[in-house]
Amino acid sequence: MTRRLTIIACILALVVGMFVWVSPPSFIRELGLPEIAKALPSNFKDAESEFNNRVRSRFAAETNESNLMSELTKMGFSVDALNNRADVSRNGFPCSLEWWIIWGVDANGVVMHIDGHYGWGKVLIA
């Protein structure tokens, strides 16, 4: 009897674990995300618009680029200075989700424009 219960418990744990890995609940998916990227609307168009608004509100134009990159790094974004881009992603099924920020600077390294984007990333199945 205990062996049967152990087998059932293991199978149940495996099924639940696979479900959480394939489609984690939002509170798990948002762990470690920058605050600016959390709790977006479920509709992608609305979510990208909201994320862009948050980015533009948080990082005013005419900010020094090195300060911007430092702040984005502290927030948890991976910064690509050569391409003026910062991003963070979370695996999901069938695709990852990505939040990315792009900006443009003038000759003095002052940020002239900044945009936030949100959407599907890499496809995890082939």
* Of 31, 47, 17, 20, the residue nearest 90 (C-alpha): 31
In a domain, 9, yes or no: no
pLDDT of residue 13: 59
pTM (whole model) above 0.85: no
In a domain, 18, yes or no: no
Which residue range(s) make up the domain with 41? 25-123
Mean pLDDT of the chain: 82
Other beta carbons within 10 angstroms of residue 90's beta carbon come to: 17
User: Helix, strand or coil for residue 19?
Assistant: helix
In a domain, 2, yes or no: no
In a domain, 64, yes or no: yes
User: What is the tally of structural domains in the chain?
Assistant: 1
CA 5 centroid distance within chain? 40
In a domain, 56, yes or no: yes
Per-residue pLDDT of 51-76, as tens digits, reads: 999 999 999 777 899 999 999 999 99
User: Helix, strand or coil for residue 93?
Assistant: coil
In a domain, 86, yes or no: yes
In a domain, 84, yes or no: yes
* Of 110, 104, 115, the residue nearest 62 (C-alpha): 110
In a domain, 15, yes or no: no
Is the pLDDT at 7 greater than 80? The verdict is: no
